[in-house]
Structure 1
C-alpha cells in the first residue's frame, strides 16, 4: 500500500496500466477480471437472526430454562411462572445481544456487495455494480458516495471522509491527491487513499482502484476479525457449559424427586417451587458486573483487555514471541561512539563545530530525522531518532535551527528492503541529499569518503575497514547506522537516482540498554513453562551479544538472521525452529510463517505488535498483545493493549487468569450451595409432612438478590478451593438446621428461621472462605456489608408481613444458629489449613 501513497497519482496510473481520462477499455475488463477476480467481498453469515437464535438454544442452561418454563405453564403453577419466563427472556436477549454486537462491526458490509458505483470506461461515465469494479478502474465519487474499493485519489475537491469502519476514528478525515513523503505507520496516515466501506461526507473527486474484494484493507480486516472471533472467544462458552452442568444436576434431581415423592404421596405441589429455585438465578447480571469490575481493575494498571477470553487463553501459552525493545531492553537508545575520518570517538568527547566530519555526521542525524524531543514532554519518533536529538541537545545543537538553514525539499522514506532514509535539503544556492541507515545499503551507494573534511575516492580496502569497524561495534552489542551525503548544483527530482554517487561520512553506534532485572525476567518466563522467542532488528552479531548478556541464549547457533531464512523451504524452516531462540532482521511475512508453523505443531503462542506489518502475527497468535502507539486496526485484531512494559503486563494477566479460573469455579459452587440447600429443604419438608419453611418470596430474594453479592465475593476475592463434597456437606448442614428449627417452632416464624439460616450461612461461608478483612477496605468487604444490610431489611419485612411474634424459643434458636454457623466455618477453615500443611 505504501507504494501507492509515496508515488504521484500519475505514476500509480502508469503502474496499473490505466488511463486517467478514458479509464479501462471494454476489451481490458474481461482480462482483468480473470486476472484479479471480482470485487465481491466474502462475508460471514453475521447479523442473521436465525443464526443467533439457533446458537442461543444450543446452550444447555437456556434449554433447561426453556423446559422449566413450559412445565410451569403446563401445570399452570402460580403467577410466579412469569418470573421464570422473564429470566428465560432476559438470558436469551442477553446472549443474542452479545452475538449481534460481535457481528455489528461487519454487519453493515452486507450492502457493499449490492451497491453501485460510477466509473469511467471507454471515456464515458457508467454506473455499474460494485462487484464488477476492477483494478485500474477510474471511479467518480461525490458527497454520500459509498467507496466501493481501495482507491488512490487522482482528483480531490475538498474531500472529507468518514472511515470509522476501517480505522475506528470517529472524526472526518481530509483527503488529497498529492503523494506522501516519509514512512507510513498506520492507515490513518494514508491521506491520499480512500478505503472500501468508507463514506464521502463532503466534496467530490476521482480515483483509481488499487485493491478489490478480499484484498482491500476492509477485506483483510474482516477476515482477521472473523478468524480471531471464532477461535478466541472461549471463556463465555466455558462459563455457560459449567453453569449448564450445575443446572442439569438440579433439574434431574428435581425430576427424580417429583417421581419419588409422587409414588409415596400425591401432594407434590410445593415441589414445583424447585423449578422456581433453579429458574430464577441472575447469572448474566453477575457475569456482567464481574467483567466490568475486572476490566476497570486492569485499566487502572494501563492494561486494556480487548478480548475477555484472554484470561482463558493465556494459561495455555507455551511460546512467547518477544520484541527485543521493550522485552529485554529498555525503550530508549543512547549515542555511545562515532566512527569518522578513520577514528573512533566516544560520544561524550566530541565537540560540535570543532571537526567538519563530526559536525557533518551530527547534522545529517538531525536533518534525516522525523522525531520530536523535549525534556519535559513525551518524545515521539523512532528510538534512534530521539537518541540523536537528545545527544545533539546536550551539545547545544537543535534540529529546529538546522531546519531553518536547510529547507527540506524531498524525503525518500525508509523501507524494509532498503533500510535507509534520504532527505534533500536546500542550502543557500545548492542542494544536498543527506542519508542515514543500514551500513551495507549506504556503502553500496557511496563512491567517495570524507576524511578530515576532504572528499576522497572510496576504495575497496577502505570499505572493508569500515565493515570491520561495524563488526566490532556489533560485537559490543551496539546498534549502528551509517551516514552519507551528496551535493547537487541543481534541485534534483524524484525521477532521478538521488541515492547514488554518495560520500560516506561515518558510523554512529548506539546502545540499547538491557532492562535492569532482565535475568529475573527471562527466568520467570522459562519457569512458567514458556519458551521465549526473541525478534530483533539489529544484525546477527549484535543480536548474539545482546542475547548472551541477557542470559537469553548460550550458543551462537541459537541465533539466525532473515537472510539465512530466505533460502529455506517450509520443512527446513520447521526443522530449524526447534533450536533457534533469536531471529534477527526477519520480514513480517517470515515472522508470521514462523508463528503459523508453531501453531501447526500445536503450540499456543503469544505475540506482540504495533504496526500494520504485525497484523498477520497478531492474528495468528493465541494471545495478541498490542503495544506502544498502535493504530486502531492493530488494537482491533489484538486481545489486549499494553502501552508500556508489556512483559510485566503479560504476567499480571497470567497471574490473575489463574485466580479467575479458580474463582469462577468457586462462585458457581457457592451459588449451587444455596440452590441445593433449598432443594434438599423442599424434599425434607415434603417427606416428613412438616409445614413448608420456604415460601416464594424467600426463594426469590435468596436467588435473585442475595446470590449476587455472595457470588461476586467468591468471584473477585481469591480464596480456598471448594470441593463438590463441601457443597453437599454445607447444603445438608443448612437444610438440616432449617428442618430441625421448623420442627421445633411449627409457626410462621419458620420463614424467618429458614431465611436467616440460608442468608447468614451463605454470607459467613463466602466471607470466611475468601478471607475478607474487616479492617482493610475492599470491594469484597463492601459486598459483604451490602449483603448483610439487605438481609436485615428482608428479615424485618418477613416480621411485618408474616406478623411474627418474638418469643424466647425464636431468640434462643436464632442465637444457636448464628453461633453454630460461625463455629462450623472456623473449625472447617482450621481443618482445611491442617490438610494443606
Structure 2
C-alpha cells in the first residue's frame, strides 16, 4: 500500500497499466477479472435466519420443547398448548435475534457488494455494479458516494471523507492527490488513498483502483471480524447444553412416572400440567437480564465486556502476552535524570535558569512536543513521554504555551519506524531552529557538534562512546532514554532540504516508568494460575532485562530477545526459540502476530492486549483479545473486552468472576429444578391419590414464569453454596410435604391459593438463605428479594380480590405453622452446613 502513497499518481497509473482518460478496455477487463477476481467481499453466505433456525432446532432443549408442544396439542390441553407454543417461539426468536445482532455490523456492509459506481472504460463513463470493479479501473466520485474499492486519488477537489469503518476516526478526513514522502505508519496517514466502505462527505474527484474485494483494507478487517465472531462466541451454546441436560432428565422422569397410569386407561390431566411445568420457563428473558446486570457490574469497574463468552474463554488461557505499559508498569512517565554538559544531574537538582544546557534541553522537550497538560486540574492528553516533559517543566515553572508564543512552529518532520526521531522547525526572534528528540542512535548519527557550557564544539568519537556508555548505564537502571539536539538556520529552510543533518547534540533525558503496585504478587498470581506471562516492550534489550527482573518475569538475561535478533531467524529457528524467551524487546507487529500464531498452532490458549490497528492481527488470533488505552472502534470490535487502565488487574477480575459464574449457573439450574421437581412430585401425588390438581394454570405461570425470573437472577448474581442431588430431592420432598400438609384440611376453593403461597414463599426462603443475602447492605440481590416478596404479595392479593375464597382459622394456623417450619428448617440447615465446613 505504501508504494501507492509514496509515488505520484501518474506513476501509479503506469504501474497498473491503465489510462487516466480512457481507463481499461473490454479485453483487459476479462484478463484482470481472471487474474485478480471480482470486487465482492466474501461475507458469511446464505440466509442467516434459515441457517440459525436449522442450528437451533438441533439443540436438546429446543427438541424437548417441540415434543412438549406436540404432546400438549395431542392431549388437546387448550389451557396450556398455546402458551407453551408462544414460549417456544419466544425462545427461538430470542436466540436468532442474538445471533443476528452479533453478525449485524458485518452483514450491514454487505450492501457494498451491490452498490453502483461510475467508471471510465474504453474512454466512456459507465455505471456498473461495484462488485464488477477491477484493479486499474478509473473511478469517479462525488458527495455521498460510497467508495467501492481501495483507490489512489488522481484528482481531488475539496474532498472530505468519513472513514470511521476503516480507521475508527470519527472526524472527517481531508484527502489530496499529491504523493506522500517518508514512511507511513498507519492507515490514518494515507491521505491520498480512499478506502472501500468510506463515504465522500464533501467535494469530488477521481482515482484509480489499487485493491479489490478481500484484498481491500475493509475486506481484511471483515475477515478478522468474521473469524473472531465464529470462533469466540461459545458461552451461549455451553449454557444451552446445560439447560438441555436438566430439561431432558426431568422430561424423562415425568414420562416414566405417568406412563403406568396412561397404560391403565386413566387419562391424567396432570400429564398436561407436568408438561406445562417443564415448558413454562423464560430462559431467554432471564439470560438477557442476568447478562445486563453482569455487564453493568463490570462497567462500573471500567471493564467493558464486548463478547460475553470471555467468561468462558478466559478459564482456558495458559499464556498471556503483556505490553509493558499498562500491565507491568503504570501509564506514567517521570523525568528521573538528565545528562548534559558532560555530567549526570538528578531531576530534583536541576536549576533551569543557571545552566544554558539545561535550558536548551528542557526547551526542546517542550517545543518538540504535541501533547497537552493542564497545570490547574492536572489533566493530560497525549504521549506519556511528552506528558512527562510537560509535567516536569511545569514543576520548574516553565510552560510550553509561553515558549510557543516566542517560537512560531513552521513545520514538523514526524517520527517513523525507520527514523526514530521527531523534529520541529521553529521561527525565533532571530533566525530559525530545528529542535529534535528521539532514539539516541538516530539522533547521534545526525549530529556533528556537541553543546558544552552553551558553546558548540565538534563531536568526536570519544564523545560518542561516552554518550553511548551513559545511555547504556541508564538502561541498566531500567530507565527509558531520549536524546536531544538542535540546528540553527539564518534562513528558512525548505521542506526538501535535509533539515535533520549537521545537528548539535545537547544531551539525554532518562525517564522512569514506575512498576504497577504489587506487580510481583500479580506475576506470582499469573504463574500460580498455570499461566505463562510473556512481555512485549518498546524499550531496548538492556532496559527490558532490568524491568522484567524487577517484576519477577525472568531470572536470566537469556530469556530476553530483541527484534533485531529475531529478524535474522527463519521460521523453525523462531519456533525453537519461543519455549525459552519470556520478553520480546522492540519487535514489529508482524513478528508479534507470528509468535502468537505459533503458540496457537501448538494448542496453547493465549490472551493478548492491543490499542492500535497494528495490533488487530494479534487480537484476532488470540483466544481472549483485550483492547486497552484509547483504541479505535475497529480494535474494540475485534476484542473481547475493553479495559482502559491496568488491564492485568481487570483480566483477573474477570477470571475470578468466571469461576463464581459457572458455579452460580450450576446452582441456578439446581435451585430452579428443585422447585420444578417439587411441582412434578405434587402432580404425581395428586395422580396417585386421584385428587384435584392444586397447581393450576395461574399458579404454574406465576411461579415458573414471573417468580422464577428474580429468583434465577439471585442465584446467578450471588455466590452461595452448591446444591447436591440428594439435597435437591430432599428439599423437593419438604416443599411437597409442606404443600400437602397446608392444603389437606382446606376447602377446594382455597387449595390452589394455599399451594401457591407455600411453594412461592418456600422457594423464596430456600434461595434467599442459600445465597447468604444480607439485608443490612444495599445490593441488587436484596432488591430482587424485595421484588420477589412484592410479587408474591401481589399474586395473593389478586386471587383474594377476584375469587370468593374463605380461609378458616384452622387453615390459617396450619399455613402459619408450615411457613414458620420452613424458616426454622432453612436456618438450622444452613447452620448445620456451616458447621460441617469448619
The separation in 2 between residues aligned to 1:11 and 1:655, in whole angstroms, is 59
Moved more, 566-575 or 476-485: 566-575
Matched residue, 2:583: 582
Please say if residues 136 and 209 of structure 2, whose CA atoms lie closer than 8 Å, have aligned partners that are also in contact: yes
CA apart distance, 1:46 = 6.5
CA apart distance, 1:129 = 4.2
1:39 to 1:498, Cα distance in 2 relative to 1, 3 A: farther
Matched residue, 1:282: 282
Superposition pairs for residues 772-811 of structure 1, below 5 Å? 772-811=773-812
Does residue 530 of structure 2 align to residue 534 of structure 1?
no
Please say if residues 181 and 412 of structure 1, whose CA atoms lie closer than 8 Å, have aligned partners that are also in contact: no
**How many residues align structurally?**
836
Matched residue, 2:763: 762
Moved more, 423-432 or 541-550: 423-432
Q: Deviations over 1:761-787 (max 9, x none)?
A: 110011010111222222111211221
CA RMSD of aligned residues (A): 2.9
CA apart distance, 1:685 = 0.9
The separation in 2 between residues aligned to 1:783 and 1:93, in whole angstroms, is 27
The separation in 2 between residues aligned to 1:532 and 1:629, in whole angstroms, is 23
Does residue 715 of structure 2 align to residue 714 of structure 1?
yes
The separation in 2 between residues aligned to 1:12 and 1:829, in whole angstroms, is 81
1:47 to 1:381, Cα distance in 2 relative to 1, 3 A: farther
1:774 to 1:183, Cα distance in 2 relative to 1, 3 A: farther
Matched residue, 2:74: 74
Matched residue, 2:439: 438
Matched residue, 1:205: 205
Matched residue, 1:815: 816
Does residue 107 of structure 2 align to residue 102 of structure 1?
no
CA apart distance, 1:339 = 2.1
**TM-score, length of structure 1 as denominator length:** 0.93
Matched residue, 1:45: 45
Matched residue, 1:649: 650
Moved more, 759-768 or 491-500: 491-500
CA apart distance, 1:213 = 2.1
Superposition pairs for residues 181-196 of structure 1, below 5 Å? 193-196=193-196
Moved more, 720-729 or 450-459: 450-459
Does residue 266 of structure 2 align to residue 266 of structure 1?
yes
Matched residue, 1:319: 319
The separation in 2 between residues aligned to 1:513 and 1:612, in whole angstroms, is 27
1:538 to 1:201, Cα distance in 2 relative to 1, 3 A: closer
Matched residue, 2:302: 302
CA apart distance, 1:475 = 0.9
Q: Deviations over 1:543-586 (max 9, x none)?
A: 11122222222211121111111122233222222222211111
Please say if residues 24 and 137 of structure 2, whose CA atoms lie closer than 8 Å, have aligned partners that are also in contact: no
Does residue 679 of structure 2 align to residue 678 of structure 1?
yes
The separation in 2 between residues aligned to 1:396 and 1:773, in whole angstroms, is 54
Does residue 364 of structure 2 align to residue 378 of structure 1?
no
Please say if residues 9 and 152 of structure 2, whose CA atoms lie closer than 8 Å, have aligned partners that are also in contact: no
CA apart distance, 1:288 = 0.9
Please say if residues 164 and 170 of structure 1, whose CA atoms lie closer than 8 Å, have aligned partners that are also in contact: yes
Q: Deviations over 1:143-193 (max 9, x none)?
A: 332211123444444444444544567776665557789998876676654
Secondary structure class of the residue paired with 1:748 = helix
Moved more, 524-533 or 444-453: 444-453
The separation in 2 between residues aligned to 1:19 and 1:363, in whole angstroms, is 51
Please say if residues 46 and 103 of structure 1, whose CA atoms lie closer than 8 Å, have aligned partners that are also in contact: no
CA apart distance, 1:636 = 0.9
The separation in 2 between residues aligned to 1:607 and 1:432, in whole angstroms, is 43
The separation in 2 between residues aligned to 1:799 and 1:273, in whole angstroms, is 23
Matched residue, 1:145: 145
Superposition pairs for residues 466-481 of structure 1, below 5 Å? 466-481=467-482
Superposition pairs for residues 266-665 of structure 1, below 5 Å? 266-352=266-352, 354-375=354-375, 376-427=377-428, 430-488=431-489, 490-665=491-666
1:774 to 1:177, Cα distance in 2 relative to 1, 3 A: same
1:813 to 1:171, Cα distance in 2 relative to 1, 3 A: farther
Secondary structure class of the residue paired with 1:148 = coil
Q: Deviations over 1:306-364 (max 9, x none)?
A: 11111111122222221111212121112222223333233333333544433333232
Q: Deviations over 1:660-707 (max 9, x none)?
A: 111111111222122211111111110121222221111111111111
Secondary structure class of the residue paired with 2:374 = coil
Please say if residues 318 and 530 of structure 2, whose CA atoms lie closer than 8 Å, have aligned partners that are also in contact: yes
The separation in 1 between residues aligned to 2:325 and 2:423, in whole angstroms, is 25
The separation in 2 between residues aligned to 1:15 and 1:443, in whole angstroms, is 40
The separation in 2 between residues aligned to 1:397 and 1:181, in whole angstroms, is 35
Please say if residues 47 and 100 of structure 1, whose CA atoms lie closer than 8 Å, have aligned partners that are also in contact: no
Please say if residues 103 and 229 of structure 2, whose CA atoms lie closer than 8 Å, have aligned partners that are also in contact: no
CA apart distance, 1:721 = 0.8
The separation in 2 between residues aligned to 1:457 and 1:37, in whole angstroms, is 60
Please say if residues 610 and 630 of structure 1, whose CA atoms lie closer than 8 Å, have aligned partners that are also in contact: yes
1:350 to 1:180, Cα distance in 2 relative to 1, 3 A: farther
1:32 to 1:398, Cα distance in 2 relative to 1, 3 A: farther
Secondary structure class of the residue paired with 1:435 = strand
Secondary structure class of the residue paired with 1:82 = helix
CA apart distance, 1:289 = 0.9
Q: Deviations over 1:735-771 (max 9, x none)?
A: 2333344444463322123212211111001101011
CA apart distance, 1:263 = 2.3
The separation in 2 between residues aligned to 1:272 and 1:150, in whole angstroms, is 62
Please say if residues 352 and 396 of structure 2, whose CA atoms lie closer than 8 Å, have aligned partners that are also in contact: yes
Q: Extract unaligned runs of 5+ from structure 1.
A: none
Does residue 58 of structure 2 align to residue 58 of structure 1?
yes
Please say if residues 186 and 631 of structure 1, whose CA atoms lie closer than 8 Å, have aligned partners that are also in contact: no
